Structure 1
Amino acid sequence: MHYLPNILFAIALIIGAGYFAKHVKKLIRNIKLGHDIDVSDNKSQRWKNMAMIALGQTKMMHRPIAGMLHIIVYVGFIIINIEVLEIIIDGIFGTHRIFSAIGKPYGILIGAFEILAVLVFVSVIIFWIRRNIIKLKRFWKSEMTTWPKSDANIILYFEMVLMTLFLVMNATDAPFQDMNSGNVISQFIAPWFGSLSESTLHVIERAAWWMHILGILVFLNYLYFSKHLHILLAFPNTYYGSLKPQGQFDNLEAVTKEVRLMMDPNVDPFAAPAEGTETETPAKFGASDVQDLNWLQLLNAYTCTECGRCTSECPANQTGKKLSPRKIMMDTRDRLEEVGKNIDLNKGTFKEDGKQLLDNYITQEELWACTSCNACVEACPVSINPLSIIMDMRRYLVMEQSAAPVELNSMMTNIENNGAPWPYNQMDRLNWKNE
């Protein structure tokens, strides 16, 4: 019986870690459903981007107040959870605050944790007020249905509870309070429990200890179902993010080759291709479903924080059009999850379900509303690129379905026939300069 708590702790830890590993495996499987893309170039710049954007939170500071609050929550939550290492060792071996043996540095460390816990708690309260009382417009767009709104609040409640449990655990830990080192905040909370017996204090401290660690394990496994998966995925997403200048689109090599052949009068179209120059024509132009996207785009979808900065900057959305870059990412993730569940149900293979990302999730009206201005890409704090998905789906509509809007079809016909977007004949094609 003496070792029962240690055994129960080990079981909880194994279950929590195992469940998390299962979801990570599924996450990787789903992302790999996308086709391959080469992002092995310029590793030094990629490391720099990850350090500056994911770790340094530089793009968050474009909106200073929200950015500073987010940094406090981010840094505080990560650093405070360093104590989880001590909790794990104590839980497995039955020790109590094993790192306290290092003396004064331990007190400094725990003191910093307590200050950060208060700052995190206050910041989370402010976030909750902004979302639920002030009701900032970007948090209440049409795509923010019941679950996305609830998910955001659940995370805030999680953080409030975990910070509270941490401080209560310290305040009711009599040996820790007797040390009078590191209890910079909890010493003011301890008197609230002053009338309780030593045994009762111990029960409260143990209860707070258990709920704190179990809460962290629950939170860890909740991440897979939450927009807060970006806590983990922001790092690879910023590392693998595009290094090309914004506005530079990817061209299909097979199409580029055909255009070059058409424009070169000296090329024999029936000649065999030179060795090493043959370009494989893709089986499908563009994307109509998640399997047609590349794995980086699918990683983008899982990384989306649903913060709405992209949508709030989108000129199409600002003028009342249905396009919301945030919704593009949310729809891509939802469809990817649906495909993943389909694979799970069918023993590792996808069974055609009669649905796809295009039309069933994202409408053509949304796609053609985009001005391709890159405002959404610039605004995203974790290097997500909604525009790349929009352009791939547009490519499918044009090249596979000939489903471009009438205005665009007219323009392309004019370019093909007249060498200019306007309906002038070849002899008068320079008249466009006077338009």
Structure 2
Amino acid sequence: MKQQWRGGLVRRLLLLLGACLLVGVLSGQYAWTLVVGLAAYLGWTLWQLLRLQQWLQRKQVDEPPPDGHGLWGEVFDSIYHLQRRDQRARGRLQAVIDRVQESTAALRDAIIMLDSDGNLEWWNIAAEQLLGLKTPQDSGQAISNLVRHPRFKEYFAEENYSEPLELPSPINERMRLQIQITLYGNCEHLMLVRDVTRVHQLEQMRKDFVANVSHELRTPLTVITGYLETLADNVEGVNPRWLRPLQQMQQQAVRMQNLLNDLLLLAKLEATDYPSDSLPIQLEPLLTSIRNDAIALSANRQHQVSLEVEPGLSLRGSEAELRSAFSNLAFNAVKYSPDGSSVCIRAWQDAQGIHVAVQDSGIGIEARHIPRLTERFYRVDASRSSSTGGTGLGLAIVKHVLLRHRGKLAISSSLGHGSLFSCHFPAQAVQEPH
């Protein structure tokens, strides 16, 4: 194409020069004829450029370029063909966009596109129904200005979207939404919002059932336990062959009572998102008390329980709940470690927040069990857990306590080398010293 244009331009210039020379021969004014001819050609070229510039300024996408002759006609024709090709490409892209928008409009789940700063760029119809977004006035608004729940603001600011977030709809408190954010492109956000009200109601029914049954069982179990204690205190008047059954019934009654207490504690933890008594808690005296309780639990098994705490560490939260979580980890380390082994409780602070870890030198846990350890009643070894009197709810309680304090539980273990349970609290939960 370039060679054709170059050849055409050379031919036209040669024709112009030939015509000027011919006129010069006839008139005898070679120089003036050449100057006038070149000036005319330059003026015609400038006029064509002016036409092109005016067409570009009008910015009409579908308007064809002006007509022309000669070299400029070829230029305008080339622009026209490029324009038509671009229109066809844009037509295909628009068809794809229309199909995507039609398909997303039919979805019951809300799809929202945000820029890197969290400002709204695009959303489907379901987003208006679930979150109350309005078209077009909300375009360009920050999503945190429209979804103002404190947990959503924390979730969005932390930029850790590995787990979905569940919270009430901003337009209907009885509607429960699950929000999942994915990063793509240049740190842009794709937000998927799903209505999980039905699932939440079923889960709430399950929680209420467990809590009510646990509460109702406490009274008859207390009566049974009381009579068993009375019989055990008067063993002289009991037939000797009934002593062992009485002891076993008393042990199982105590175990059942512990199970009910743990179930009621879990129901209480699940009832709200935040602790009701959020106060500054000094970790050193709290962990010292837990260490002493762990030593008392070890008794004749002679575990070496050590404590390493950076001075001045303080968390904001519920002391009773944190004591329950840390005690579960420390007591599990004692229960499931061989006699005479070491257990280390550590607490430290860094740029990410405060960390509390319990490390034992027990037999360890297989990797396949670790993801399920915080599930209710999940046991790595049912016989071993039964012999230690565990309820199977300890780590579930730890998980829920940490969630209420915006913390996370990390578990690492290998067979024959012990286990490490670490509680990580974000910087927002740290109580700065005054």
Same fold (TM over 0.5): no
> Using CA pairs below 8 Å that are at least 6 residues apart, which structure has the higher relative contact order?
1
Q: Normalising to structure 2: TM-score of the pair?
A: 0.20
The structure where helix makes up a greater share of residues is: 1
